[in-house]
Amino acid sequence: MRRGPIYRSSGMQGESIRLQNRLVLSTGEALTAADVTSWSARAYCDGALVKKLVDASAVTTDYFFDTLQTGNGWDKDATGYNFEYVVAGDAFKSQGGKTYRIEFEAVTADEKVRWVWMVTLKPWMGA
């Protein structure tokens, strides 16, 4: 099983958050949409499941890319990303001041690739 590092992001309560990754298989090759047979995403807070955001979906082409992308807010490096998921601001009931753990798993014919985003939401005090 291939485990990626834990990534961190923050945003305001109620806003959408774009999560982008460069994912590789245990062979070192970039993970492509065709490699993924199913994938899932789950949100947790304080160790408890908050919501299954994606549950064993076979739809990959909207999220996994066959070529590395460098646009759409990517600023880590010039190499790019091959996975993107936007957590909608209303995807699950969230609270400002909390950190949510978003766990992703992509299943291929040979392995599982797992990675985690820790998303901290800042409270919105205005109207």
Residues of the chain predicted below pLDDT 70:
1-4, 127
pLDDT the model gives residue 2: 52
pLDDT the model gives residue 63: 97
| Burial of residue 69, with CB atoms counted within 10 A of its CB: 0-12 exposed, 13-18 middle, 19 or more buried | middle
pLDDT the model gives residue 57: 92
CA-only gyration radius of the chain, Å? 15
Q: Residues near 5 by Cβ (< 8 Å), separated by ≥ 6?
A: 115
By the 8 A CB rule, do 12 and 96 touch? Answer: yes
If one counts every other C-beta atom within 10 angstroms of the C-beta of residue 113, the result is: 23
pLDDT the model gives residue 1: 52
pLDDT the model gives residue 125: 80
The alpha carbon dihedral of 90, 53, 58, 115 has a sign of: positive
pLDDT the model gives residue 126: 72
